[in-house]
Amino acid sequence: MDPTVNIASASAPPQRIVIATRESRLALWQAEHVRNLLQELYPACKVELLGMTTRGDQILDRPLSKVGGKGLFVKELEAALLDGAADLAVHSMKDVPMQMEPEFSLVAIGPREVPLDALVSGKYASLEDMPPGAVVGTSSLRREAQLHARYPYLAVTPLRGNLDTRLRKLDEGQFDAIILAAAGLKRLGLGTRIRAVLPAEDSLPAAGQGALGIEALASRPDVAAWVAPLNDPATAACVRAERAVSRALAGSCEVPLGAYAEMRAGSLYLRGFVASPDGTRMAHAELSGSAAAPEDLGLQLAAELRRQGAAEILAALGS
């Protein structure tokens, strides 16, 4: 279960809030979005951004799975929380490690942007249009495995860098198409670059994709109270269920895994998969359950995925 803070009562309105953020254009947009929301809530409060460069931003010549995973995007921000330089940090939820240290807490998860993957290409309107040998760029083992499984004739190549760098590499002709999160493109006003939004049936999203999370020290109930109005209960339930799947199966490891929950008629509908990187072995499962116990539903789905063959796939990956 993600660490949480029990907010017994609202604290006094804040006078100053410092938000730690990565300095990529998308990360700054996200932090500025949260800053604007907080300034609407607390007009007299001074809300500042503390821009930081993380190891995940610095190491661009190797896949994330080879250098420590997406946790590389949050460690420096968490250090700023620990030393008091910042009160909170804003993250893309898909970048937050599934295993959080006890010193930290996810104190709010905001409303979700489109959580699906998007095809970006100057040449092709869909993956089906692409000929054998066409080069698709992605930074994600999850996307890579699903591409291999559905389109084994395409060449899938690692793609690192921030969103603008990835688009530049596509425009330079290094790739025929790239797969990105639709949410980031839409948030930066680049929705026109999307040739196709890939349905979950074709490309199941990562746990937390499209959602923004606010992290603070577990010892700061005052911060938790300040940001509590920014929490979206429906999105939080979906993300908590998805993260429970990933935490139960992969822990802190980088494996080809997707988990996606939706609210349907008051219940959570949760889907997940685990695959080998080459897409030749894949376990799928889906369940519906109460939104009041999202982690329990996530654990049930993880158990079902193991029954469908995920245990053998994970053992082969060394997870």
| Distance from C-alpha of 309 to C-alpha of 255, rounded to nearest angstrom | 14
Between CA 200 and CA 196 the distance in angstroms is: 12
Q: In this structure, what are the phi and psi dihedrals at residue 126, rounded to the nearest 5 degrees?
A: -160, 160
Q: Catalytic residues, which ones?
A: 95
Tokens of 96: 């937050």
Q: Report the distance separating Cα 319 and Cα 317, nearest Å.
A: 6
Tokens 């953020």: give the residue.
21
Compute the distance between CA of residue 289 and CA of residue 71 in angstroms, rounded to an integer: 30
**Which ranges constitute the DSSP H helices of 109-181?**
141-150, 163-171
DSSP strand E in 122-265: where? 135-138, 155-158, 177-181, 194-198, 212-217, 257-264
Rg over alpha carbons for the chain, rounded to the nearest Å, is 19
